[in-house]
Amino acid sequence: MNAARNPFTRRALLRGALGAAAVGALGACGSRSTTPITSGAVDLRIWTHDPGYVTAFTRAAGDPAITSGSAFTFQPRTTSVAPGDIVTRVIAQAVADGNTPDLAGVVIDQFPRVMGSAIAENLFVDLTDTVAPMGDDLLKLAPYSVGGKPYGLDSDNSITVLYYRQDVLAEHGVPEDVATWEELAEHGERLARDKQVSLGMVSVGDNGAIVNGFTQMLLQRGGRVFDESGALVLDSPEAVEVLEFLARGVKSGFLLALPDPYGSACAAALKSGRLAATAMPNWYNAYGLQANVPDQKGRWRMRTLPRFAGGGHLATTLGGTAFTVVKDKPATQAALEFLRRVYLTRDGQVLRYHAGGYLPTLRPLYRDPELLAVQDDYLGGQRVFDVYSAAADDLPLFHQAAGMQVLAAVLGGPVLDALRGRTSPRAAIQAGIAAYRQQAKR
């Protein structure tokens, strides 16, 4: 019998993933009915860390444009769970035959935890047939695919753009349309030397933030961390080049070294004008700029990233949260249909953009007249989809593997050493690769 259809075999597999100690504490839980609900009112248990998703799902359930024609009446029942706890709790409850959610929002850096030991296959619905009608129009499936099969739908394309203070660039003679990172760096070095102003930042806090910042730029340059098979492919000229570029930027002051993009040090740099530009995803507008410097409304603009002179992509990506459907539950069919209607339809994606600013993952929507007309008051009334649409046309794929968290843990230190000038970029990359192969045995 197929392990994915045998609940006892499936629970045994998940026990192995959870660990013996935790399983022992859950052993008294009993079995629950799995008789499918096929119509009528259905409570959908949704676990998420982000109140924005609560708003989006709640609005969608009450929007006839999204729910009409369904045999179900969708009733979202949301629970707030910390990002790092969702995967652990879903596995624990599945092992115990307990109260798993119907939909679970898994942050992108947590998904690798289900990519090994057949966990994703035994826990979540394979979405291959669900996404098939979308063809190549559906973006960003790669980070949530295992063995070529998708198990989650991302909520946001998380497109990285260059935010910049238009007034500061004009005052100091920096063209807004510089073509390459190398050209922007020349201006940045001058501003850092003469005016103590930086045109970008680099995370030097925890290992996750350090590796995420490096990976963001590596993807734009055309490099990768893992390939589609899960093999580590970090040993590349692009990886060395990007780390050399970041290290030179930190040394010259063009890039400001900060513990994280959201903390007090970053807020102080934004408020003082010390930081006048930064490459960050679309959501940084609300969570970084507007949250820290609301009084600078109208001074900021955004554009597509400068390109690397050596090649690569116009855009890159950082972050994301995918919703997965937990399999073999009474509401699994309803949850799958609700997710499809909210995440794979034009009305659902437009609603999610207006509810929480989540960028579409369907390519045609970057030409949608309603979205193209959106103007951002904080960015001086700029038509933001003029930028997003160009970026979405050249967005690199990001592949993950089960060992991604191990890599982040062992690569962060060497990358930080290179940024601080304590080792060479090439040596840092090689040290991270060697430590990963030793720990992950890959």
- Could you report the per-residue pLDDT of 316-371, keeping only the tens digit for each? 999 999 999 999 999 999 999 999 999 999 999 999 999 999 999 999 999 999 99
Q: How far are the Cα atoms of 146, 210, 259, 265, 315 from residue 262, in angstroms, in the given order?
A: 32, 14, 9, 8, 22
Q: Are 326 and 103 in contact (CB under 8 A)?
A: yes
- Which helix (DSSP H) or strand (DSSP E) does residue 48 occupy? strand 40-48
Considering the chain, what is the average pLDDT of its residues? Answer: 93
Q: Sign of the C-alpha dihedral, residues 137, 142, 146, 148?
A: positive
User: What pLDDT, in 10s, does the model give residues 52-91?
Assistant: 999 999 999 999 999 999 999 999 999 999 999 999 999 9
* Confidence band, pLDDT 50/70/90 cuts, at residue 263: confident
Could you tell me the two tokens for 88?
């652990």
Do strands 256-258 and 201-203 pair parallel, antiparallel, or not at all (unpaired)?
A: parallel
* Confidence band, pLDDT 50/70/90 cuts, at residue 441: confident
Residues of the chain above pLDDT 70, percent: 92
Q: Domain map of the chain by residue range?
A: 40-157+319-367, 159-317+402-441
Q: Are 323 and 103 in contact (CB under 8 A)?
A: yes
Q: Most distant CA pair in the chain: distance in Å?
A: 71
* Confidence band, pLDDT 50/70/90 cuts, at residue 428: very high
- CB atoms under 10 Å from CB of 421, counted, come to 11
Q: What is the rounded distance in angstroms from the CA atom of residue 217 to the CA atom of residue 281? A: 12
Is there a common fold for 40-157+319-367 and 159-317+402-441?
yes
Could you tell me the two tokens for 377?
């008051």
Average pLDDT over residues 174-193: 98
CB-based burial, 115-141: b 16+ in 10 Å, e otherwise: beebbbbbbbbbbeebbeebeeebbbb
Q: What is the rounded distance in angstroms from the CA atom of residue 133 to the CA atom of residue 205? A: 42
Q: What is the rounded distance in angstroms from the CA atom of residue 84 to the CA atom of residue 63? A: 31
* Confidence band, pLDDT 50/70/90 cuts, at residue 2: very low
Question: What's this model's pTM, rounded to 2 decimal places?
Answer: 0.91
Q: How far are the Cα atoms of 154, 189, 202, 220, 265 from residue 254, in angstroms, in the given order?
A: 33, 5, 10, 19, 17
User: What pLDDT, in 10s, does the model give residues 222-256?
Assistant: 999 999 999 999 999 999 999 999 999 999 999 99
Residue 8 has pLDDT above 90, yes or no: no
Could you tell me the two tokens for 252?
């010259």
* Confidence band, pLDDT 50/70/90 cuts, at residue 4: very low
Residue 261 has pLDDT above 50, yes or no: yes
Yes or no: domain 40-157+319-367 corresponds to CATH 3.40.190.10? yes
Q: What is the rounded distance in angstroms from the CA atom of residue 215 to the CA atom of residue 250? A: 17
Yes or no: domain 159-317+402-441 corresponds to CATH 3.40.190.10? yes
Closest CA to 316 of 247, 222, 216: 216
Average pLDDT over residues 176-185: 98
